[in-house]
């Protein structure tokens, strides 16, 4: 849990996003893993990368939905295939768990991530003539 927490803390820190810190994240990781709806994959010997998958029942199909909640590779290991390896392992795990699709979100400016996802068969439906424009809302409690 500590290695995962450090990577997730570094991820948010790199992009100037809030983080509760590695200790709180490690506790949260342990809790989520114990509930059985979250899977975490680590890559590299450091580890140098992490993928966090969240599974949920689907209202539309008998299969599960898999949400890629996080994918992070430390800066000095990017461009070496680790992100692709994590994604391929994530897709394999999602299928093995009974998911019938995976969804994820990324920023418009994250060109490398978008290229990776598209090379793995993910399709972006935003802004296409035949696709909707979705808005993602958030409210803190």
The pTM for the full model equals 0.89
pLDDT tens by residue, 75-93 = 999 999 999 999 999 999 9
pLDDT tens by residue, 97-117 = 999 999 999 988 899 999 999
Place of tokens 């810190």: 21
Angle at 64 (CA atoms; ends 59, 68), nearest 5 degrees: 115
Is 8 within a domain?
Answer: no
What's the CA gap between 8 and 10, in Å, rounded? 5
Tokens matching residue 56: 């949920």
Q: Band the pLDDT of 57: cuts 50, 70, 90.
A: very high
What residues make up the domain containing 93?
Answer: 36-119
- Residue 89's CATH number: 3.40.630.30
Is 31 within a domain?
Answer: no
Find the range with the poorest average confidence among 32-46, 99-113, 126-140. 126-140
Is 27 within a domain?
Answer: no
Number of domains present in the structure of the chain? 1
Contact 28, 90 (CB under 8 A): no
């Amino acid at each position: 849990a500590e290695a995962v927490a450090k990577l997730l803390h570094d991820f948010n820190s790199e992009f100037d996003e809030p983080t509760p810190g590695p200790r709180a994240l490690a506790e949260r990781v342990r809790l989520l893993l114990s509930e059985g709806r979250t899977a975490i994959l680590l890559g590299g010997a450091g580890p140098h990368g992490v993928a966090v998958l969240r599974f949920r029942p689907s209202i539309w199909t008998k299969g599960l939905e898999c949400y890629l909640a996080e994918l992070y590779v430390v800066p000095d290991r990017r461009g070496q295939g680790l992100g692709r390896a994590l994604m391929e392992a994530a897709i394999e795990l999602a299928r093995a768990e009974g998911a019938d699709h995976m969804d994820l979100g990324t920023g418009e400016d994250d060109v490398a991530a978008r290229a990776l996802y598209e090379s793995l068969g993910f399709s972006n439906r935003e802004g296409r003539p035949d696709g909707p424009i979705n808005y993602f809302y958030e409210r803190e409690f």
